[in-house]
Amino acid sequence: IRPDGRIILGGIMEEEADALRAAASGAGLAVVSDDREGEWWTALLRPGA
């Protein structure tokens, strides 16, 4: 991903959100924003955790 790029993750089960957030951080990505709707989680990530 480019330094000014973004990644949108959707369709993630809410119960997996913490693990995905930790994995993203370990990969050098930061969650810019996220949303939960029922059991679903969506996140916008960018480089630079």
Which has the closest alpha carbon to 36: 7, 13, 3?
Answer: 13
% the chain with pLDDT above 70? 98
Query: Is 34 a domain residue?
Result: yes
Q: Is 41:8 a contact under the CB 8 Å cutoff?
A: no
Residue 18 belongs to domain spanning: 7-47
Maximum pairwise Cα distance, the chain? 32
Query: Is 17 a domain residue?
Result: yes
* 49: pLDDT strictly greater than 80: no
Taken as a whole, the chain contains a residue count of: 49
pLDDT value for 38: 95
Query: Is 18 a domain residue?
Result: yes
pLDDT value for 27: 95
* 28: pLDDT strictly greater than 90: yes
pTM: 0.85
